[in-house]
Amino acid sequence: MTTFTLRLSSPPDDVDTVHEFLDTVWQASDVPPMERFRFETALIELTANVIRHAAGPGGVVCSLVMEVSDRSLAAEVVDDGEAGDIDLDREMPDDLEESGRGIPLIRALVDEVDYSRSDDANHWRLARTL
């Protein structure tokens, strides 16, 4: 298993920083392209939501630890943002709704989505079996 770590502060960092980080991860691994796409889409959606919804007036600091093995992908995201009203069982909203698709989309792309709040931080875990 190989571990990769990113620490970002938004602002100035944004999801482009996560894309660049994932480019490094994919270059150092043999993950099939479709699996990369699924996991990257889920992780980008999650980090975009953290940046958009958890950030307080001073922004948000976030650490991302990703583990890649021959059998799985996993990411731990910890941010110092505000606690959210997180419903991991949320269903995809109606077509006319303007928001609320993030968690259902993430759940559709990975095998595991966990969220907890402890030590004044949000803790997220995404995992996918290859």
pLDDT tens, 30-81?
A: 999 999 999 999 999 999 988 887 677 788 999 999 999 999 999 999 999 8
CATH code that applies to domain 2-129: 3.30.565.10
Adjacency order of strands within the sheet including 121-129: 2-10, 60-68, 72-79, 121-129, 112-118
Q: How many CB atoms lie within 10 A of CB 51?
A: 22
Share of the chain above pLDDT 70, in %: 92
Give pTM, 2 decimals. Answer: 0.89
In sign, the C-alpha dihedral spanning 93, 94, 97, 101 is positive
3's enclosing H/E stretch is strand 2-10
* 82 or 44: which leads in pLDDT: 44
Q: How confident is the model at residue 93 (pLDDT cuts 50, 70, 90)?
A: low
Burial 21-38 (b: 16+ CB within 10 A, else e): bbeebeeeeebeeeeeeb
